[in-house]
Structure 1
Amino acid sequence: MTQTNHIGKAPNRVDGPLKVAGTAHYSGEFNVPHLAYGYVVSSPIAKGKVVAIHADEVRALPGVLEVFSHENVPYLAWFDKSYKDQIAPGGSPFRPLHSPDITFNQQPVALVVADTFELARYAAALLRIDYEQEDHETNLETKRTEGYAPGGGKTGFQAPPPPRGNPDKALKNATHSIEAEYAHGAQHHNPMELFTTTVEWRGDGKITAYDKTQGVYNVKNYLMGVFGLGKDEVRVVNQFMGGGFGAGLRPQYSVFMAVLATLELKRSVRVTLTRQQMFSIGHRPNTLQLLKMGTNPDGTLASLQHHALHETSQFEDYTENIVNWSGMLYQCENVKLGYQLAKLDIYSPQDMRAPGAASGNVGLEVAMDEMAYAAGLDPLEFRLRNYADRDQNVDKPFSSKKLRECYKQAAAKFGWETRTQKPRSMRANGKLRGMGMGGGVWDATQTKSAAKALISADGKLTVRSATGENGTGTYTIMTQIAAETLGLPLEAVTFELGDTDQPEAPIQGGSWTAASVGTAVKNACDALGEKILKLAQKPADSPLKDAKYDEVEFVNGQLRLRLDHDQAVVLRDVLQASGETQLEADSSALPNMLKQQGYSMHSHNVAFAEVEVDEDLGTIKVTRVVSAVAAGRILNQKTARSQVLGSVVWGLGMALMEETVMDHKFGRYVNHNFAEYHIPVNADIPHIDVIFVHEDDDIVNPLGVKGIGEVGMLGVTAAIANAVFHATGKRVRDLPIMLDKLL
């Protein structure tokens, strides 16, 4: 309906000035009156029980307010249903301070609350706790034969589709075949901002929780369910977040601890986890994958089999969609996919950027590279021969798919035609040079969302929705959508988010925020626009007298006929003449299931990577990456590019650096800090080219947008691994690829 003037451009982040000036408040920066501080005490054992807590010694310290543990925590409601209804990892999450039983190392066993943070930390160090230790098991290798198929319990988990064709027979009769195992250890989210909750006691049992979370309503419903609070008794706020990457999808135990202490002490309390404790709140699970592939004489896939086994905790079945993608990314008539879990004495894994897909994609795309070599084909040519125009998992066409164009543009930009096929055949700067590629696919999802739009007589628009801002650019793209819908300059629009006093929105995760909340914002602005049109039609001489809403457009502060721009009114004049100080409209957005039911909806990407490997030292340097993404309509070229840049950095870290090392003797991660858990820094990052391949798709949602934050990571890790093979001739199937695996 409107003339494009904001969407698709590259305006700066509207929240940028607040962040640079230090006036963007994070969860640990709300200095409420009479604030006390809690410090969490963690278990040093992986399995057993707490026998005794010598809390009186600590309570006697001046300034210590209380020591909370399973011994004195009051009865709690623990209504799981209120949690399971959320769009987040399902199951029965860990219940802090619920019993003396220890189920994982670093389990929180007590909370010391004091007048100052320093005193709380000191008192926690003095707290003596007696444990009864039991034998534990934290090694996935010991569970290879004990895997079991999960029964569900997680929102969004889809069991692998049943086998199609006859994959075993097709593999046996294949012209060429491969069979290999691919693995990676546990990886942790490591956002810069620590998980912190500041709970303000408002009296009469009412609280406001300033919590680090990717979903304020998710946390509110959790707190209502656990503590038996009414909806008017708890408000949750998160307006800025210093990185989440999936770690904030679930309410973390910091919010439980802070709310517990606040309700019991009737005093505001802040709880902040330490960097070491950040490694006790979930991770990408240690995963083993077995892939078998075979080709026909013409290089098309004859058989594809993909089986995954990963760890979960003793108290729930955490599940991921690891293998499903292998049944849809390439054309193959004979496919078998399998997925199993193994219980260990660890904390539950948790969704981490592109959960499931990031793991399964590495196995699939490295196996595709191996299969291409076995069949004597260029890896890009092999993928083109097996290009899928239809999602065979559900036997539906894609709503849109420009992956072939991604291949074409990215390969041209990268210079793939200069690559020689033989490993160890290219050199540069005295080092072995390698080129590799990998592709990916991620769901394009829309979920229920709501928004409210308000416009004042001076033409200033405010739009509200309780979504989140992880740094993805939500403030900016929602401002763009609202401004374009009502034809206003960006500076005339304010978008507010992250507060349960606002209309409900889903957690910010899964790459669905732009599609879900963006559609709700547009609907709310359109609903407001219809009210404005009715006001504009009240004067007898109105040039818009008989116009319908789809016959007008808002452009540059005017409301005018689409087919006759001279028939127009000034928006501000209409509002001021109405006598109304403010107009408002609410709206929500749901996916159009009737329109979507016949299609499979996904974003796609491809990444090309170049590496240089020192032949003597085995060191690897990624020198170039080209990433091409087909994700519908791009709302903001700048923030979208930043999302893909971040995704590429994650893929590089997964390929070459990130690994949380478990000491199985103690059942504890030993590198639980920034010094020894290696993540990429500026010096590790090569030149990255980002290409967006436009797709027109009115099926996914009215805006035509798809998510990019997760799909941009896919293909990158495999592309680097494949480039390392091309450079060295050595195939490393166990991530991360470190120099000891090459020497």
Structure 2
Amino acid sequence: MKFDTPAGPNPIDRLRVVGQPLDRIDGPHKVTGTAPYAYEWHDVTERAAYGHVVGAGIAKGRIAALDTSAAERAPGVLAVVTARNAGELGKGRMNTATLLGGPAIEHYHQAIALVVAETFEQARAAAALVRVTYAREPGRFSLHAEKDRAIKPDGDTPADTAVGDFDSAFASAEVTLDATYTTPDQSHAMMEPMASLAAWDGDHVTIWTSNQMIAWSRGDVARTLGLAPEKVRLVSPYIGGGFGGKLFVRADAILAALGARAAKRPVKVALHRPLIANNTTHRPATEQRIRIGARRDGRITAIGHESWSGNLPGGDPEVAIQQTRLLYAGEHRMTKMRLATLDLPEGNAMRAPGETPGLMALEIAIDEMAEKLGMDPVEFRIRNDTQVDPEKPERPFSQRQLVECLRQGAERFGWNRRAAHGSVRDGRWLVGLGMAAGFRNAPVTKSGARARLQPDGRVTVETDMTDIGTGSYTIIAQTAAETMGLPIAQIEVKLGDSDFPASAGSGGQWGANSATAGVYAACMKLREVIATRLDLDPATAEFVDGEVRGGGRAVKLADVAGDGQIVVEDAIEFGDLDKQKQLSTFAAHFCEVGVDALTGETRVRRMLAVCAAGRILNPKQARSQVIGAMTMGIGAALSEELAVDERLGFFVNHDLAGYEVPVHADVPEQEVVFLDEADADSSPMKAKGVGELGLCGVSAAIANAIHNATGVRVRDYPITLDKLLPGLPDVA
């Protein structure tokens, strides 16, 4: 199905199933332990061996000597895999560093060996017997130190943009702001670690893995192992969280395959927590300079945003300037990205890459500018709203309800009660309110599915789409049920298998809208085949209550298939509507905090998110996505930071004891509101993504609330108490 004109009325608009706050159909499997995760395929694991990964002990250099003899002699050991005996390996398109290092070492904890044994304990004990001698080389581990040597990166996203004459407009502006903000390296902390189980059948390998993008990763496994793609099968029906860290193949999948080949039996590998921070990907640190010039009436005349980040050679920058290209009006504009070469572990996608750190800076700067102008921060944002792409004024937004988000949020949150900085107390707590705008693009991408009408009238949907905790099973079932006129109980959904048609996958906030649109395409094709078989006009045939109706007849779906199945396959393919109009999602985040006047301890008291994100396919699941994102925003604002050892080049706090994520006690009252919206330019579903929007702007809202509570402005995240204490005595 080609989607190249705005969606008109279609079966989804009935909203009998789609748009309803239904419980997750996979919920019972998860709470009863019957949902198989990557490490838990019991029909395979009964005969599986265990692999334990050995990570490099230096950040840059070479292996001078590698002695595995003691490990090979250890009890229960079946094989030890290293670059010396693994055979010639390629590298996936999505990987910056090689997944099995040696003799060259590209980053700390790069995998250099896998020890395979009968039990996990034997594998772990034997891994400690591997002896490695390194030839260490000097490395670059500080973004700030390398900032002046950063270069203009190549890539799909332009590094620089310019509209008008920013320098002149900023120099002549009546009111100006010029400030620098920093965000730290951050780690994924999903509940399920990267884990895989591999088994060979001749020259075919099956890998049960925890991965968000099956089609991408199948191709990269094939490239790495030197196999034809059809000889690789990936299976990933349930994922215990991803956040972008599982977009690409990681070392666990490749090493499980290599270990299984060496041991001649299935092998399972899970990356233990200390390996996740340094061996896998993380959100890279940024340094951002923002300059804003405005007239005294609050109209922005010049806005400039420059961002520096670092990565391994060949890696990509953190695109922290992208929201600034679209969020606010302003005739004269400039954005720049620069990329430094660092020998730290790979920086890559983490929930809302680009916009998350970008808005952490921009939305503080906007508040600072409002204060300079003596304007209310909500009103300042409303005054600089734009209904067109500010860099391409000929291109309007498909829908943009940011102003409505801001106004509804202010009213619901009681924003009019916001007082002067440092003036509200609750005992020893200084209380403040803060807010920020949220923005995230809403891309779409090709997505396929297969639909089967079973003899009993049930419909089975198969697609390699994944569910990373977002509810893909349920919204796909809702889509099929709505399109086919069936109750959701009559739909079976099968996900996460490379034997199924390639989908959009879970990532980039494109997953829900694209994947359900692909399922809609397959179901509409199934409707066409069924109607044609019944000599009905597909354009007028009605599918409702388990029947096909038309021409004065009503035929049950169970009677159409007969003794066999009707099987169709289709994909949604998008035209250039996203080039004609800007597809984006918007939010307004509001927050109340308390800051202890004596210690600087910060507690978030209540939060509100008002979101405009197209048609909401399942409000219950969408709310869960947003409150989870808001919780991540608390961590980013107050505690999450990978501490870099700038001498040795690794993240020191590489476990959940030292890397502090929010816990239940940190999470306050959270309210989520979705505006009524259906975007006909986005897809036949008229939906957009929401899972990343819920994070964008949250940390800045908390930072702005802290400033309102204390009068202390912190521009370096996370806002820990040591950064507040120097400014608190006067307020206290």
Q: Scaled by the length of structure 2, what TM-score is found?
A: 0.95
Shift of 1:528: 0.8
Match of 1:163 in 2: 162
Match of 1:427 in 2: 425
Query: Deviations for 1:640-665, whole angstroms, at most 9, x for unmatched residues?
Result: 11011111111111001111111222
Equivalent position amino acid for 2:556 in 1: L
Pick the aligned partner of 2:615 from 633, 644, 663.
633
**Are 1:451 and 1:464, in contact at CA under 8 Å, matched by a contact in 2?**
yes
**Are 1:160 and 1:323, in contact at CA under 8 Å, matched by a contact in 2?**
no
Using the alignment, how far apart are the partners of 1:389 and 1:97 within structure 2? 49
Shift of 1:553: 2.2
**Are 2:101 and 2:110, in contact at CA under 8 Å, matched by a contact in 1?**
no
Shift of 1:159: 1.3
Using the alignment, how far apart are the partners of 1:355 and 1:64 within structure 2? 41
Using the alignment, how far apart are the partners of 1:740 and 1:226 within structure 2? 46
**Are 2:447 and 2:504, in contact at CA under 8 Å, matched by a contact in 1?**
yes
Match of 2:253 in 1: 255
Match runs of 1:569-608 below 5 Å: 569-572=554-557, 574-575=559-560, 579-593=562-576, 595-608=577-590
**Secondary structure at 1:410's aligned position in 2?**
helix
Shift of 1:201: 2.2
Query: Deviations for 1:598-645, whole angstroms, at most 9, x for unmatched residues?
Result: 211111111011111111111111111110110110000100110111
Using the alignment, how far apart are the partners of 1:554 and 1:430 within structure 2? 63
Using the alignment, how far apart are the partners of 2:532 and 2:556 within structure 1? 12
Shift of 1:161: 5.0
Shift of 1:112: 1.2
Q: Does 1:555 align with 2:544?
A: yes
Match of 1:669 in 2: 651
After TM superposition, the structure 1 stretch with the greater mean CA deviation from structure 2, 550-559 or 296-305, is 550-559
**Secondary structure at 1:46's aligned position in 2?**
coil
Q: Does 1:614 align with 2:596?
A: yes
Equivalent position amino acid for 1:150 in 2: P
Match of 1:719 in 2: 701
Identity %: 37
Q: Does 1:196 align with 2:195?
A: yes
Using the alignment, how far apart are the partners of 1:104 and 1:232 within structure 2? 32
**Are 1:647 and 1:712, in contact at CA under 8 Å, matched by a contact in 2?**
yes
Using the alignment, how far apart are the partners of 1:29 and 1:439 within structure 2? 42
**Secondary structure at 1:384's aligned position in 2?**
helix
Using the alignment, how far apart are the partners of 2:230 and 2:679 within structure 1? 41
**Are 1:214 and 1:509, in contact at CA under 8 Å, matched by a contact in 2?**
yes
Shift of 1:460: 0.9
Match of 1:521 in 2: 519
Match of 2:728 in 1: none
Using the alignment, how far apart are the partners of 1:596 and 1:357 within structure 2? 19
**Secondary structure at 1:554's aligned position in 2?**
strand
Shift of 1:580: 4.2
Using the alignment, how far apart are the partners of 1:302 and 1:231 within structure 2? 53
Equivalent position amino acid for 2:557 in 1: R
Pick the aligned partner of 2:316 from 315, 318, 336.
318
Match of 2:6 in 1: none
After TM superposition, the structure 1 stretch with the greater mean CA deviation from structure 2, 368-377 or 671-680, is 671-680
**Are 1:161 and 1:324, in contact at CA under 8 Å, matched by a contact in 2?**
no
**Secondary structure at 1:520's aligned position in 2?**
helix
Query: Deviations for 1:447-480, whole angstroms, at most 9, x for unmatched residues?
Result: 1111010011211110010010000000000000
Match of 1:18 in 2: 29
Query: Deviations for 1:52-77, whole angstroms, at most 9, x for unmatched residues?
Result: 1111222122421222222222123x
Match runs of 1:308-387 below 5 Å: 308-313=307-312, 315-387=313-385
Shift of 1:366: 0.4
Using the alignment, how far apart are the partners of 2:631 and 2:681 within structure 1? 31
**Are 2:173 and 2:293, in contact at CA under 8 Å, matched by a contact in 1?**
yes
Using the alignment, how far apart are the partners of 2:160 and 2:131 within structure 1? 52
Match of 2:688 in 1: 706
Query: Deviations for 1:531-569, whole angstroms, at most 9, x for unmatched residues?
Result: 2222333xxxxxxxxx532323212222235xx9xx451
After TM superposition, the structure 1 stretch with the greater mean CA deviation from structure 2, 552-561 or 611-620, is 552-561
Shift of 1:596: 3.8
Q: Does 1:220 align with 2:218?
A: yes
Equivalent position amino acid for 1:237 in 2: V
**Are 2:188 and 2:245, in contact at CA under 8 Å, matched by a contact in 1?**
yes
Pick the aligned partner of 2:455 from 454, 457, 462.
457
Q: Does 1:94 align with 2:105?
A: no
Match of 2:5 in 1: none
**Are 1:18 and 1:24, in contact at CA under 8 Å, matched by a contact in 2?**
yes
**Secondary structure at 2:653's aligned position in 1?**
coil
Equivalent position amino acid for 1:147 in 2: A
Match of 1:410 in 2: 409
Q: Which ranges in structure 2 are unaligned for 5 or more consecutive residues?
A: 1-9, 726-732
> In angstroms, what is the RMSD of aligned CA positions?
1.5
**Are 1:46 and 1:106, in contact at CA under 8 Å, matched by a contact in 2?**
yes
Using the alignment, how far apart are the partners of 2:153 and 2:505 within structure 1? 24
Pick the aligned partner of 1:120 from 109, 119, 123.
123
Match of 1:61 in 2: 74
1:393–1:580 CA distance, 2 compared to 1 (3 A): farther
Using the alignment, how far apart are the partners of 1:493 and 1:209 within structure 2? 27
Shift of 1:430: 4.2
1:198–1:573 CA distance, 2 compared to 1 (3 A): closer
Shift of 1:144: 2.0
Equivalent position amino acid for 1:387 in 2: D
**Secondary structure at 2:186's aligned position in 1?**
coil
**Are 1:369 and 1:379, in contact at CA under 8 Å, matched by a contact in 2?**
yes
Query: Deviations for 1:11-69, whole angstroms, at most 9, x for unmatched residues?
Result: 10000000011000000012315322111111222222111111122212242122222
Match of 2:3 in 1: none
Using the alignment, how far apart are the partners of 2:168 and 2:410 within structure 1? 35
1:536–1:109 CA distance, 2 compared to 1 (3 A): same
Query: Deviations for 1:381-405, whole angstroms, at most 9, x for unmatched residues?
Result: 1111111111112331001111111
Equivalent position amino acid for 2:126 in 1: A
Using the alignment, how far apart are the partners of 2:591 and 2:297 within structure 1? 27
Q: Which ranges in structure 1 are unaligned for 5 or more consecutive residues?
A: 85-89, 538-546
Equivalent position amino acid for 1:8 in 2: G
Q: Scaled by the length of structure 1, what TM-score is found?
A: 0.93
**Are 2:428 and 2:598, in contact at CA under 8 Å, matched by a contact in 1?**
no
Q: Does 1:142 align with 2:145?
A: yes
Match of 1:540 in 2: none
Using the alignment, how far apart are the partners of 2:57 and 2:229 within structure 1? 37
Using the alignment, how far apart are the partners of 2:674 and 2:427 within structure 1? 31
**Secondary structure at 1:650's aligned position in 2?**
helix
Using the alignment, how far apart are the partners of 2:159 and 2:400 within structure 1? 22
Q: Does 1:536 align with 2:547?
A: no
Query: Deviations for 1:279-323, whole angstroms, at most 9, x for unmatched residues?
Result: 12111101100111111121111211110001101x322223211
**Are 2:161 and 2:336, in contact at CA under 8 Å, matched by a contact in 1?**
no
Q: Does 1:35 align with 2:33?
A: no
Using the alignment, how far apart are the partners of 2:162 and 2:377 within structure 1? 26
1:59–1:573 CA distance, 2 compared to 1 (3 A): closer
**Are 2:309 and 2:318, in contact at CA under 8 Å, matched by a contact in 1?**
no
Pick the aligned partner of 1:44 from 41, 57, 63.
57
Using the alignment, how far apart are the partners of 2:558 and 2:682 within structure 1? 37
Using the alignment, how far apart are the partners of 2:442 and 2:465 within structure 1? 18
**Are 1:150 and 1:317, in contact at CA under 8 Å, matched by a contact in 2?**
no
**Are 2:97 and 2:106, in contact at CA under 8 Å, matched by a contact in 1?**
no
Using the alignment, how far apart are the partners of 1:101 and 1:550 within structure 2? 62
**Secondary structure at 2:148's aligned position in 1?**
coil
Shift of 1:212: 1.1
